[in-house]
Amino acid sequence: MFRCRMWKMYLVLVAVMFVCGRPVCAAEKVVSCELNGLGLAIERETGSLLKMAYPEIGTMLEAVSEQASVIDMAYPLESFQAFRLASRYSKGARIVQGKNGVRIEWEKLGGSREVPISGTVAGSVEFMATEDGRSVVMTAEIRNESDLPIRQILFPDFSGLIEFAGEAKTVLRVAGSGQRNPINPFKDLRTVPSSVQFYASDPNFAGQIYSVGNAYSQIWTRWIDFGGLCNGFCVFPEQWGWESESRIRLQRSELDGKVRLSYVHNVQVEPKQTWKSAEFRITPHTHGWAEGIEPYREFVTRNLKREYPLPRHIREGLGYRTIFMMNGGTPNTKEDIVYGYQDFPRVAREAKAHGLEELVPWFWTDSFQLPLTTMPILGSDQDLADAVAECKELGVNVSPFISIYVLANPTAARFGLKPIEGKGWTYHVDMIPMFNPPYASAQATAGIDPSNEGWQKDVFENWKRFIDMGVPSVVWDVYEGTRKEPNVYTLTSQIRKLARERDPESVFAGESLTSLEIESAYLDYTWNWLNYVDCRPYASVFPAPRVAVNIDSSPEIVKLCFADNVYMNVMPRKPGGINGSAAIEDYPEYSQALKQCAKLREQFLSYFIEGTLIGDCVLTEECPGTHVSAYILADRVLVILLNQKAEEPVQLRMDMEPWLKSTAGGVEMTRYNADGVQMSKRMFGGSKIEIEEDLKPLEMVVYEMISGK
């Protein structure tokens, strides 16, 4: 019987080794493996990641044992709430290598202090090569077999990232950001000697945590890229929508200057529960973020399910025009009127002349109130309907802006809400201060529960009235979703269905406040308070919603948005006036920039709506003082060069080989000026292209590169 049992155990062991690979010999201090070219060095004793490298890039991560990591978690004890469990504190990790992956297992994760705990926390991390040969998928599982909950998990946890793309040039790039993009952790997270923060709150010491989600978030989506102009690695979890909240943490070590990059999951893993991560896909790249983002684009394409396609004029358009119709959010006197309904066609004609086919009026109705009604001080129902119809004939769609998610009295009281003074949206140019002065609270507001059936019914019936009038498009202020149904999304579907029956090209846009992944199914574009930020990775991947940037009167921002395929919210302001109160032509350089960009967009439209945006990845060297954006379309590439602040002639060095199917016959380059006029044509014998340009400030040129025959 004894021999029989031993034989069975032997067979089981052989089977496990065949499936999972070979256990690593205990004498090996470092376990090395290569998965789809990505080299990993794992510490045998702890299971932490010591090194990560890739051919043509070299070493990207290199950590000493004391700072290395792969997974980390908060396990607060009553006696010591800062207690943590992590790979770096662990001993006796079991590492099993297989043909396409490596698995790290811990029977008991070690703690940050010699403090006894009741029970154990076990776990595993696995790296697996993907079948496409491009990426490595990283997953984790934590089994809480202790008596206390786990309160936070850092995974993946890359500790020891170095400046592999060059000093001060290795950055964290995100799809889009409400603040800035990219972020340079090696520079931005340095300690400021002249500043003393409370306790240890200096970003360099404590680490900077960035929120992920909507168009106001520091990071718009869960995709990130770490590297430089020509190389790096991308990471994203294969999660969509409501599946998980995400945060990303950056920390620069004061000890060695290296960077720690972690996805932060604020979870609650109760005793006897198991936590499983999403599949995190790591994609190294040697030709810029546009190469590394390809798996993420495929993931988005699989998950983005639009109820309706983008209206043609939104998909093809340059941007939209916003006007504020009165000096304040509520009607006062005739002196406060900036525009009446009958002014819409006049504004639309100017917008159309500048390539803008969408008009968004604010303050056309009493804000934060239901029912929605026209204002006699601005015109009648018929005046509004006639103006919208005339604009439509001019080729400009009108999408009125509504604020009905937060409500002021008397509507708030009708729904049992109690607005708080000083917490609303009371403003006027004559108030001091203009926004929420201590003596005025006419538009103090409170938020409604969107699942309120009475509110849902009121909103639908109110907007149905305007759809029946011939006003089917809308821009929704405070577009905030909840999982509980009915919610704003179920209401959106009802409104859109009715509006589309009236006008198949009707628009539904809004202020993104929940998740761009979720809202991509419903919104055509955004109306958020956003200044220009580099969001080319987002524009490269997401067809909708088109995220809009607000522009007062800057020709530079117009040209940047054009180059990056970013939707423009054009609202020039009179000196001393409110937003959108001026005519575009009041600012000649601004007007000219819009007209030039509108003409260029129409001339090269196929690149913007059918091509792939690759940003400045076409460059082989940085081109200081300029902004470069490129698009791939079949056998050709479009490159837009804007001189922002270069005072000397600039050297533009590019390589077409990674982006064109063939460069064997050379590359033909045609140069156009900002008016779309062809200036020259020349042939390059290979894929490498070098150009010297002597441009004036804010001068723009366009190059079209075509594979030689």
Q: Read off the pLDDT of residues 644-674 as tens digits, 9 standing for 90 and up.
A: 998 899 999 999 999 998 888 899 999 999 9
Helices (H) and strands (E) in the chain — how many of each? 16, 39
Phi first, then psi: give them for residue 672, nearest 5 degrees. Answer: -120, 145
DSSP string, 335-352: GGBS--GGGHHHHHHHHH
Q: Is 242 helix (H, G, I), strand (E, B) or coil?
A: helix
Supply the pLDDT for residue 180.
85
Radius of gyration, CA atoms only, the chain? 29
Q: What are the backbone angles phi and psi of residue 353, rounded to the nearest 5°?
A: -65, -20
pLDDT at residue 242 in the model: 84
Neighbours of 267 (CB within 10 A): 18
**pTM for the predicted model, two decimal places:** 0.93
Question: Are 663 and 629 contacting, i.e. CB atoms less than 8 angstroms apart?
Answer: no
- Structural domains in the chain, sorted by start: 10-303 (2.70.98), 312-405+448-603 (3.20.20.80), 406-447 (no CATH), 608-707 (2.60.40.1180)
Of the candidates 483, 493, 480, 496, the one whose C-alpha atom is nearest the C-alpha of residue 448 is: 480
Structure tokens at 431: 């108030």
Identity of the residue numbered 255: L
pLDDT value at 696 more than 70? yes
Tokens of 421: 């003074």
Distance, CA of 308 to CA of 504 (rounded, Å): 9
194 vs 428, higher pLDDT = 428
The structure tokens listed for 148 are 């206390």
Structure tokens at 708: 């030689």
More confident residue, 709 or 78: 78
Nearest to 331 by CA among 398, 392, 293, 379: 379
Q: Are 494 and 281 in contact (CB under 8 A)?
A: no
pLDDT tens, 182-236? 999 999 888 877 877 787 777 666 778 889 988 999 999 999 999 999 999 999 9
| Of 531, 534, 523, nearest in space to 550 by CA | 531
User: Per DSSP, what are the bridge partners of residue 269?
Assistant: 150
H helices within 170-327, ranges in order? 185-188, 203-206, 289-292, 294-303, 312-316
pLDDT in tens, 172-183: 999 999 888 999
Give the H or E element holding residue 12: helix 2-20
Cα separation of 450 and 486, whole Å?
7
Residue 7 in this model has a pLDDT that exceeds 50: no
Confidence of residue 129 (pLDDT cuts 50, 70, 90): very high
Spatial separation of the C-alpha atoms in residues 461 and 483, rounded to whole Å: 23
% of the chain at pLDDT higher than 90? 83
Residue 14: which residues within 8 A CB-CB, separation 6 or more?
none
Give kind and range of the element (H or E) at residue 684: strand 678-684
Provide the H-helix boundaries in 380-515.
Answer: 381-393, 411-414, 453-469, 488-502
> Tell me, what's the pLDDT at 191?
80
pLDDT of residue 15: 36
Q: Are 105 and 96 in contact (CB under 8 A)?
A: yes
Give me the pLDDT at residue 329, please. Answer: 65
Average pLDDT value for the chain:
92
Residue 242 one-letter amino acid: W
Q: Are 272 and 145 in contact (CB under 8 A)?
A: yes
How do residues 437-489 score in pLDDT, each as one tens digit?
A: 999 888 999 999 999 999 999 999 999 999 999 999 999 999 999 999 999 99
The CA distance from 293 to 283, in Å, is: 8
